[in-house]
């Protein structure tokens, strides 16, 4: 269960705008967070794993209609438009950006009990064996010092971003154009803390990763 206690009711933006092209052989055109697992869409496992947040689903033109039904559950559904990037919704919110909020990928599930409470802009990481297709961060004493791009020579354990962020509006500088990438346009310009989480993550971006989640679920 992923919880927030000190910041009960803090806004969490769950990113569900991707088409999931690498999973197209399974999704048949539907967004990957809606892929069916035991007669339950994957996004339901993600939502049921969150406690204490005011959740908004951030969609694109391509996925918005698929998630409209979640409004009946009291969940806000936002359409950031087409090709806006992972941070494009922030430009659309404009002056309505909350003073503090979380951002999380909607195609990833996390195991264990995780507390995300923090009073600073923070990137949440896990110590993982790095692969050539994963970037990571360098830091010391809880402060991010460097974002390292995908490194073909990487080996061993590094602090890998889990795709979970806590932001304070006062710390963010948005570029005045679209698309906006959280990873490349926003994070590198911020003074950030990092927090190491003890969790196993399952992102379902490929058929192989989806099967890995199913295996864990049935264990």
Residues of the chain above pLDDT 70, percent: 97
Please provide the average confidence, as pLDDT, over all residues in the chain.
91
Confidence of residue 83 (pLDDT cuts 50, 70, 90): confident
Spell out the domain ranges in the chain. 2-217
pLDDT digit string, tens, across residues 152-199: 777 788 899 999 999 999 999 999 999 999 999 999 999 999 999 999
pLDDT digit string, tens, across residues 121-141: 999 999 988 876 778 999 999
Check whether 94 has a pLDDT greater than 80: yes
Residue 114 near residue 2, CB atoms below 8 Å: yes
Q: Can you read off the two tokens belonging to residue 27?
A: 């999704």
Confidence of residue 46 (pLDDT cuts 50, 70, 90): very high
CATH numeric code, 2-217: 3.90.550.10
Per-position DSSP letters for 5-46, written without gaps between them: STTTTEEEEEE-----GGGHHHHTTS-GGG-EETTEEHHHHH
């Amino acid at each position: 269960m992923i919880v927030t206690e000190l910041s009960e009711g803090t806004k969490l933006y769950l990113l569900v705008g991707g088409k999931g092209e690498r999973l197209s052989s399974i999704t048949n055109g539907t967004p990957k967070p809606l892929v069916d697992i035991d007669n339950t869409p994957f996004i339901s496992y993600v939502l049921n794993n969150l406690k204490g947040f005011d959740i908004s689903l951030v969609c694109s033109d391509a996925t918005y209609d698929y998630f409209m039904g979640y409004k009946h559950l009291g969940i806000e559904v936002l359409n950031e438009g087409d090709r806006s990037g992972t941070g494009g919704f922030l430009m659309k919110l404009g002056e309505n950006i909350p003073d503090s909020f979380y951002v999380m990928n909607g195609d990833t599930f996390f195991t264990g009990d995780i507390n995300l409470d923090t009073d600073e802009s923070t990137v949440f990481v896990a110590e993982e064996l790095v692969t050539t297709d994963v970037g990571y961060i360098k830091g010391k004493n809880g402060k991010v010092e460097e974002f390292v791009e995908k490194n073909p020579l990487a080996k061993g354990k590094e602090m890998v971003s889990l795709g979970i962020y806590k932001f304070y509006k006062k710390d963010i500088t948005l570029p005045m154009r679209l698309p906006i990438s959280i990873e490349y346009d926003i994070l590198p310009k911020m003074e950030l803390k990092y927090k190491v989480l003890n969790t196993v993550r399952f992102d379902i971006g490929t058929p192989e990763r989806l099967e890995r989640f199913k295996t864990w679920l049935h264990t």
